Structure 1
Amino acid sequence: MKHQIFLAAALLLGACNRDKAPEAGTAGINAAATVETDAANPTVDNPNVVSDNETPNPNAPVMKFAEAEFDFGDIQPDSKVHHTFTFTNTGKSPLLIEDATASCGCTTPSWTKEPVAPGAEGKMEVQFDSRGKQGIISKQVAIRANTQPSITTLLIKGNVLTPKAN
């Protein structure tokens, strides 16, 4: 019985390597190590980071918020609160918000959809639904726009009060 199990396992393992071309000598074994010239420090393309040898676009739009954080203070249970963040495009070209995502489904952002001209203002309204929440909250909204860097983060916080017993 043990012999049959060993034979079945050997056949299965052998079948897994069937499509692999045989490697000849040590060159075949080490070939994978030479494919990547700097495997210890691979280059990762991140559009949010300007590299050392690349200068930022001087004409890029710039999203300047009057405030990047808002504290609601005490929030009643099972209520919705909202705050409008105002920003100015201090750059030299129109600013366009591509997307805004919240760190939680209880937080909903809405924003100016049309391009914001240089010197003009735009708005980002953030709504928080306290239903099912209790205690200290801190939520982030990540805004993706045609700015450098392309992600700007806003923060809302507060304290959802304990529901009163009836």
Structure 2
Amino acid sequence: MKYQIFLAAALLLGACNRDKNEVGTEGMNAAATEASDAAANPTVDNPNVVSENEAPNPNAPVMKFTESEFDFGDIKPDTKVHHTFAFTNTGKSPLLIEDATASCGCTTPSWTKEPVAPGAQGTLEVQFDSRGKQGIISKQVAVRANTQPTITTILIKGNVLTADAKKPL
């Protein structure tokens, strides 16, 4: 009797699974077709790129950094170093930095909060904390502003020494 119940249950489960696989295969084929169509005709909505239909704003602010990269050189372990990047608004309208985001939690940006008039200068200070770091570092800061494109990237780099490393005299 137990054998007959087991056999009946196995047949029922096998029949259910077969139905699911057939439906699943059809669904997977449809999903694969949709994915290949999307790959053949990709549409990307990138707010940092002016579309073909949209002309660039000739009056937009322009953020021009004096330097877009800074090398700290050798950095002592467990120290904080900082560098101030200067920029000028070479555009025709006030520049406003909305946000600055670092590629790592060990890097902290702070920037001019008030609008920077055309021809005026602003600053962006970047602090790097070497605690827990060792060797060559390279960190990016993405600055989002009302410029075209909206994101400008600056870079800091350096070499975090080991605790037992001694600098030559």
Q: Compute the TM-score of the two structures, normalised by the length of structure 2.
A: 0.78
CA gap 1:7/1:69 in 2 versus in 1, 3 angstroms: same
The unaligned stretches of length 5 or more in structure 2 are: 1-5, 21-29
Q: Distance in 2 between matches of 1:127 and 1:147?
A: 24
CA gap 1:39/1:135 in 2 versus in 1, 3 angstroms: closer
Cα shift readout 1:43-102 (whole Å, capped 9, x = no counterpart): 222111112343211011100000000000010000000000000001111111111110
CA gap 1:8/1:97 in 2 versus in 1, 3 angstroms: same
Offset at 1:11?
A: 5.0
Q: 1:128: which partner in 2?
A: 128
Q: 1:26: which partner in 2?
A: none
How many pairs does the alignment contain? 151
Q: Which amino acid aligns with 2:150?
A: S
Cα shift readout 1:97-135 (whole Å, capped 9, x = no counterpart): 111110111000000111111111111000000001111
Q: 2:92: which partner in 1?
A: 92
What are the within-5 Å matches in structure 2 for residues 29-48 of structure 1?
40-48=40-48
Q: Distance in 2 between matches of 1:87 and 1:2?
A: 79
Q: 1:4: which partner in 2?
A: 9
Q: Distance in 2 between matches of 1:138 and 1:120?
A: 29
CA gap 1:52/1:73 in 2 versus in 1, 3 angstroms: same
CA gap 1:57/1:2 in 2 versus in 1, 3 angstroms: farther
Offset at 1:137?
A: 0.5
CA gap 1:63/1:2 in 2 versus in 1, 3 angstroms: farther
CA gap 1:84/1:6 in 2 versus in 1, 3 angstroms: farther
The two structures, once aligned, show a CA RMSD in angstroms of 2.9
Could you say what secondary structure the match of 1:45 adopts?
Answer: coil
Q: Distance in 2 between matches of 1:99 and 1:2?
A: 66
Q: 1:150: which partner in 2?
A: 150
Q: Which amino acid aligns with 1:83?
A: H
The percentage of aligned residue pairs carrying the same residue is 78
Report the structure, 1 or 2, having the larger helix content: 2
Could you say what secondary structure the match of 1:119 adopts?
Answer: coil
Could you say what secondary structure the match of 2:40 adopts?
Answer: coil
The unaligned stretches of length 5 or more in structure 1 are: 16-29
Q: Which amino acid aligns with 1:7?
A: L
Q: Distance in 2 between matches of 1:98 and 1:52?
A: 25
